[in-house]
Structure 1
Amino acid sequence: MGAISAGRQTVAAVVRNPILVVIALVLGLIQLPQLLVQSVDSVAIVVASGLLSLLFLVLYPFFFGGIIGMGNEAVEGTTSLGTFVSAGKANYVSLLGAFFILLVVGIVYVVALAAIGAVGGFAVFATGGDALGGAAFLGIVGVVLVAFVLYFLLFFFIQFFGQAIVLDDVGAVAGFKRSVGAVRANKLSTLGYTLVLALIGSVFGIFGAVFALFQAPQAAGGLPTLSPGVAIVAAVVFVALTGVVGAFSMTYGVAFYRDIRPAESSASP
């Protein structure tokens, strides 16, 4: 099954199980206050939005594991809310550990980039505008580009860690290893899968970016701020898209991983 075939199977699974969209909608509703907070001048709303964001971070591993478990059932037939709860509970600790590892890696990456930028900036400043300064600047740009490529490659190979943890019943570290092994054996098809998700994400992201731009008081170019009524309608549309896109994306990842997962784990539930 290639990326396109997995996509067709995913569409059928989501149509057959609209509860997947409902679960993804809950995720969108949790994020809704963060979209509206820019247009509301209230400290209480800002605080509530911050608390909801924290709650979202704590509960996300549960949500992630639950919807992967549902997606696995949906690909084969029908699924239910009970699967969401059981899969979320059973895999919460492992997924939380995996997200913690990713957080540490992300912090190290950002700190390393900041250090490179600081050292490079100092080198350019110290050498002035001469040829040596230009060479130092180009060197820093090259290092940053390499860092971004390495970051993409890391994501590319570990992106199925959640599916591996839930479907293969393994821990966080083993989940990363299985994802790397599966992608390494299916690099071309995984690239196609990643491009499909990137296309969907870019279209969805444009809508969110335009919405945020009109909501921002300091919108570039003097764009008018949306009225409360229009903002609510736009937010509802955004949440609905979150449900559809979220359900498709998560189920798509499950359908694709089921095909590329290592042979020794293919008999797992």
Structure 2
Amino acid sequence: MDKIKEIETRIKRGLINGYKDNILFTQNYSDLQSRIIEYLIVVNVAQELKEYCFKNGLDINLEYSLNDFYNNAFPSALIEGGIFDSKLLNRKNHSPEDSKSKRLDIVITSEMANSGEPFNSKKSFVGIEIKAINQSNKKIKQDIIRISKALNLTDPISDNHIKAGFACFFKRFDKEEKILSKEVYEAKAKKEVEKWQTYFQELRKIYKELRFTISEIKVTNLSVEEFTFRFQEEQYDYLEVAQNTGFINAYIIRIDRND
């Protein structure tokens, strides 16, 4: 399995474990929550990545500066030429104009030296953004754009070292006080994926070298039909059934290059 695929697999595990920890630490007796503590998800994803990254010479950084993520896609300087005719090349400034103070939830960096680089430096490798349940599409799209811009950066000094980025979020399809059937959920979940795939078509017109894909993870799915089958001997009113059934998915949008 290649590094990016392995990282994606571990992000998926971290999202699920983070959601479970939210249930544990908020003492919620239902598997369904409309609010989650975002940093618990971030820490769980980092924990899942920790062992693999350290074994493969990668570092995990929490709350990593977007400015550094952009600029560290390239070495800061290279020495070009021989002993007597050498010259120092500096990278361009890649600081984001609109969000210099912005930070990414998790950034994986790789410490390596380019040929001609005077010293080893941490290079940006993968960026990860994580959103809680039912965040606005606008915020998720902003994460996708930031990561896309990072992957799209170029500099005469070297190739871009960023290999991929991930925008992750949770979606609850039902409401606490209303019942949702499995059939309706499946239609809503299908529509959610199709909505993002349509958005990707727009992005490909701007970022022609990039590839956008979405993965769906069923975190907690208990339909009314399954609930009534499990507990057919017991009597529940409408509100109790609504509160104990529902559908929560996690989504991972992966951005990488076509090559």
Same structural fold, with TM-score higher than 0.5 when normalized by the shorter chain: no
TM-score (norm 2): 0.23
User: Which structure has more strand as a fraction of its residues?
Assistant: 2
TM-score (norm 1): 0.23
User: Which structure has more helix as a fraction of its residues?
Assistant: 1
